[in-house]
Chain A
Amino acid sequence: MATNLLLNIAWTHVSTRVRQTLVGMAGVAMGVSFTIMMAGLMQGSQIDFLRQLVDTMPHVTVEDERRAVPAQPADQEYAAVQMSNVANINKRPGIKYPESVMASLRSWLPGDVAPSVKTTAIIDHGGGRIGVTLTGIDPRQEVRVSKLASQMREGQITDLAHAPNAIIIGEALAEKLAVKTGNTVVLIGGQDTELSATVVGLFRSGLKRVDEGQIYSLIGLAQVVMGQSGVINQLRLRLRDPLAAQKVATQVEAQTGYKSVSWQEANSDLLSTFAVRDFIVLTVMGAMLLTSSFATYNIISTITHEKRQDIAIMKSLGMREYSVRRIFIIESAIIGAVGIVFGWILGYLLCYAWSHITIFNPLTGTTVPLQIYYSPTHYIVVAAISIVCCAGAAFFPARKATRVHPVEIIRGAS
């Protein structure tokens, strides 16, 4: 059957029902535009959050521990004997020969590595005491593995080397402790270590738990607070491709034997939450598109009902049933296609308008714009789903209408 004829009939049907056709197109356009806007908004906020997360922490962290507890010598010697309360061998903490390990990693690593010391401390100022994580860093190497330098709001990370017992703290922590740059605070570490430290800079990562619970110093100071001179208990890796972190962590762990944790593993609970959120969002978006296709269903149902006589005549003239059915599916496709184009335009405009909306965060006291992610994939996927929904919405009323026996209609009309 000539496609031109079917297109001609379909176009005539939709173009002579302007109001119905426009309503159908508006339904599709609304569904498509809001779905695009939602997809951009959800993915934008997710990407923004992950970017902050990835920027704030190392892509891979090598720690001075093993993933599995090593077997005790007694266990190895007496395998058939049940033993309990076997004391651990006291070993000095830290990564053995960290410089050698780093040199070895640098030979193949698609990124860079820097040493650090991680310990806990209590920061005391004016009677306020807050437990924090203290990370001792080498400012010259740190710039290669973290965005700390760009997150500085006051001072620079090189200032750590310009004052004795210098520390850098988060803006949020400074606010809680009422500390300003240049103030002196007391650091209380393990083994009754207590010393004065000077705040030489403030940073803001955007993550509350980091900005309130993380401070930085030189490696030497962290070792003193920890009570372990000369120890390096962390290697921090930054990769050119953050998404390769899991694979690299596995390789590093296999090479060094130390537990290597990628940023994905460290935030696996968060990422699984994202997966659940993605599923919910996809379900909602699918439901929106499906609902919008009901407008098309209604219109095609109405047209097929009104055109029962024409259907009978076309069949009696010799047009095949599936050809007549295709007419209505083409009509739906026309409504869907035009609706999709308008939906794309409207969706883009909505995204643009939404990206200018700012949200005030009372916890941080900051105002941030809504993050929108613009992706051609959103437009293509939404259009594909929408056109399938429209075709499906047309198929069933069209099939029902074209199954009618022409004689029944002709007799009825006569």
Chain B
Amino acid sequence: MSEIALQAVGLVRRIEGVISHTLVNGIDLSVKKGEFLAVTGPSGSGKSSLLYLLGLLDAPTEGEVIICDQPTSKLSESERADVRLTKCGFVFQFHFLLPEFTSLDNVLLPMRAAGKLPEKDMRERGLALLTSLGLGEHAGKRPNQLSGGQRQRVAIARALSNRPEIIVADEPTGALDTASTEQVFAILRDIADSGQTVVVVTHDPALAARADRRIHIVDGKIHETIEGRERTPKVSVAVSATAAEP
């Protein structure tokens, strides 16, 4: 087993049309297990497109994405869905929780889709995840009964529910206030510290500075890579390793 969790080789994403548009233009990238990688760049630079490619939500025009030593370019759409279900967890700018379901049911969704655990174990794990994120008493509430920060934490719990190797987050704090932003970033930091790989797209340079490594994208290419992070005090709400891996 290599130490590389996620690798992009010559990644190109081009939209063909009357006027072709290249979103990602030949990116080579390796992300280690347990690494916290921040992707920054101006609007339209291709950072979200890169994230969708790394998370197998989108297929590259050229190049290869290797997830946990598994090349993915030749996988069928169903096989890519299986990889997403078991190895990737997604957090978006908006929570995208299913509105008719409770917080717990939303967290259970990927586990139920995978169908690998008995219902009782799934519920225990889902509750443990919500409790570790400070949402234990909100398990039975629907998204419209929660604040923006709480919803985003439920979305993070959902992303963690199948114990994926990689967490992919697309501007997860983009719609949150300052306090919630701090909480969410602290949670993502803890996730990385507990051994899971985290790739985050963000506009916020201060938050990106807390990542283990930053890459700055301009016009679909890596313009700059900055190693090392700035240490900041931990925020009280954090995911525990026992919740992430019971």
Contact = CB atoms under 8 A, between A and B. Distances in A.
B40 interface: no
B110 A318 contact: yes
B113 A319 contact: yes
A413 B84 contact: no
Contacts of B100: 12-13, 16
Interface stretch (A133-141, A255-263, A308-316, A373-381): A308-316
Contacts of A410: 57, 92, 96, 170
Given A1-B113, A2-B112, A317-B110, A411 B48 contact: yes
B81 interface: yes
A16 to B, nearest CB: 5
A88 interface: no
Interface residues of B, number: 34
B101 A2 contact: no
A161 interface: no
Contacts, number: 77
B209 interface: no
Contacts of A194: none
Contacts of A314: 109, 113
Interface in A320-344: 320-321, 323
A105 to B, nearest CB: 71
Contact of B57 (A5, A320, A406): A406
Contact of A319 (B52, B58, B85, B88): B85
A90 interface: no
Nearest to A413: B94
Contacts of B185: none
A361 interface: no
Interface residues of A, number: 29
B113 A316 contact: no
Nearest to B108: A5
A266 interface: no
Contacts of B115: 1-2, 5
Contacts of B114: 318
A4 interface: yes
Contact of A317 (B52, B58, B85, B101): B85
23 contacts: A2-B112, A4-B112, A5-B113, A5-B115, A8-B112, A309-B96, A310-B98, A314-B109, A316-B55, A316-B84, A317-B109, A317-B110, A318-B82, A318-B85, A318-B86, A318-B114, A319-B81, A319-B113, A410-B57, A413-B94, A414-B48, A414-B92, A414-B94
A414 B174 CA distance: 10
B160 to A, nearest CB: 12
A312 B90 CA distance: 12
A5 B81 contact: no
B84 A12 contact: no
A47 interface: no
Interface string B87-99: 0101011101011
A407 interface: yes
B78 A320 contact: yes
Complex A-B, nearest 10 residue pairs according to Cβ-Cβ distance, in ascending order? A318-B85, A318-B84, A2-B115, A5-B112, A313-B96, A12-B100, A320-B81, A318-B81, A16-B100, A414-B93
B148 to A, nearest CB: 15
A13 to B, nearest CB: 7
Contacts of A8: 105, 112
B224 interface: no
B94 A316 contact: no
B77 interface: yes
Nearest to A411: B48
A319 B58 CA distance: 15
A344 to B, nearest CB: 30
A406 to B, nearest CB: 6
Contacts of A316: 55, 57, 84, 90
A407 B85 contact: no
Interface in B215-231: none
Nearest to A319: B113
Contacts of A323: 113
Interface string B50-87: 00100101100000000000000000011001111110
A1 B111 CA distance: 10
